[in-house]
Amino acid sequence: MTQVCFITFLEGVRNRVLYAIVIFSLIIMFLSAVFARFFMQDLSKVIADFNLGAMSLAGLLISFSVSVGLVAKDLDRRTIYFVLGRNISRRRYIFGKFAGLALLLISAYSIIFLLTHVPILLMKSAMPGYFKSFSWNAYALAAFADLVKCIFLNAVIIFFSSFVTTSFTVLIFSILIYIAGQSLAEVLMYVSASDAYAELAGFLNIVKYIVPDFSSLDYKTVAANGIMPPMEIYAGSILYALVYSAVLLVLAGIIFSRREFP
């Protein structure tokens, strides 16, 4: 499993993902410093929200551009036969792929997190009066929750990859699940407010226990306002994502171990 993890991570590096992330972070540093000056009254809020949003976008780009095609590429290039021929079970192959992707995401988020500190530190030291409500702890917690969200999304992608044959189909399924998981709570709150949508609300109340709730890991708005999230709710959302990811990986391992290769 360790070998698969390391190979997956190196494949992401060879795709120049981390180099692109560094360039992306430098661009964000410049843009946040430029655009934040147009919102001086809400300077800390704008720059925190902008940086966290950019961090989230980078994680999604890695997930949808790199993670989606990894298993399909191994099947197309038949390198999976070489890997499985080295006494590595199919389940360990799946777990190793996930671990490598998680390591790639952790590296990318660490780079962005550290580099986006620079404009915040510079502006905070130059204009401390505009950063009275800013909280490093809230900012770090929001960034970590977003990292967990993208790792969670990668578990969903690995699950679909275990039985779907083409990377394009995996991409479509993953995007649809992400959109549903990101918006379901808001839609449910809207339809529950009206008796006219009682049946739909009942259906969505069932669906919410099946579809991954990615919105529960979105703390960007809270962090931008310098508010610490309630730790019980925060820890619960992190635990939920980790447990759900573990279940998906176990299912993916079972399905992939029974899959017939062409």
Domain ranges of the chain: 1-258
Q: Which pLDDT does position 154 carry in this prediction?
A: 93
Q: CA-CA-CA-CA torsion for 197, 203, 206, 207, nearest 10 degrees?
A: -100
Query: In angstroms, what is the C-alpha Rg of the chain?
Result: 20
**Per-chain mean pLDDT for the chain:** 82
Q: Which pLDDT does position 197 carry in this prediction?
A: 67
C-alpha closest to that of 133 among 257, 45, 14, 6: 45
What's the pLDDT tens digit per position in 13-40? Answer: 777 766 777 777 777 767 766 766 666 6
What's the pLDDT tens digit per position in 236-245? Answer: 999 999 999 9
Can you read off the two tokens belonging to residue 230? 């309630």
Q: At what angle do helices 136-161 and 231-257 cross, to 10 degrees?
A: 20
Average pLDDT over residues 111-133: 79
This prediction's pTM: 0.88
Answer whether 145's CB lies under 8 Å from 219's CB: yes
